[in-house]
Amino acid sequence: MFALSQSFAQFLIPGEGIMDVKIGADWDEVEWELGFKGHMSDKEDVSPEVQLIADNAGQDFDFAVSYQHIMWLPVTTLLFKEGKVCMIQLGSDAEYNQMLCENIGTMEGLNFWDNAAKIHEIYGNEKLESKTSDGITYKICKGRGIAVGLEEDEVRTMLIFQPSIE
């Protein structure tokens, strides 16, 4: 089991999800958990950053749903394949999400605003793949099902997906 370096109110579990927003959930389940459906976008309209992570994590998807102003969970985008969640993005960029992100971390002890050294300490250098897009460096750990976006060496985005065998 993992030693917790910090006590978080909500755990993000790589490869699984956060709270009841889980990989494999259908849109109705997510709607019930988050309180509304969000805004659906075609695959072609998904941001290049999310496309980059999905491609590099081996996650094909049909459409995305974006969320704003969720008052208790900083979910920003969900990707769906065949009606089921295949990737969950949490972000701290929006001002209203910053306070929410202070209480979210992985069971291994990674939190928003940690630096790249902390990511490497937890997930190991050899298992991380780095990709850069628009000033953000993404660290992707396919075998654990997590990608982390760094801006100015601080974790600002976390993405959860089904792990793949490396």
Which domain covers residue 132, as residue numbers?
10-161
In total, how many domains does the chain have?
A: 1
CATH number at residue 72: 2.60.460
In a domain, 150, yes or no: yes
In a domain, 5, yes or no: no
In a domain, 139, yes or no: yes
State pLDDT tens for residues 137-157. Answer: 888 888 899 999 998 899 989
State pLDDT tens for residues 95-128. Answer: 656 777 777 889 889 988 899 999 999 988 777 7
In a domain, 1, yes or no: no
In a domain, 4, yes or no: no
In a domain, 39, yes or no: yes
Q: Calculate the CA 122 to chain-centre distance.
A: 16
Q: CA-to-CA distance for 160 and 75, rounded, in angstroms?
A: 11
- Please tell me what DSSP assigns to residue 86: E
- Asked whether 106 and 122 are in contact (CB, 8 A), the reply is yes
- Asked whether 25 and 19 are in contact (CB, 8 A), the reply is no
In a domain, 3, yes or no: no
The structure's pTM equals 0.87
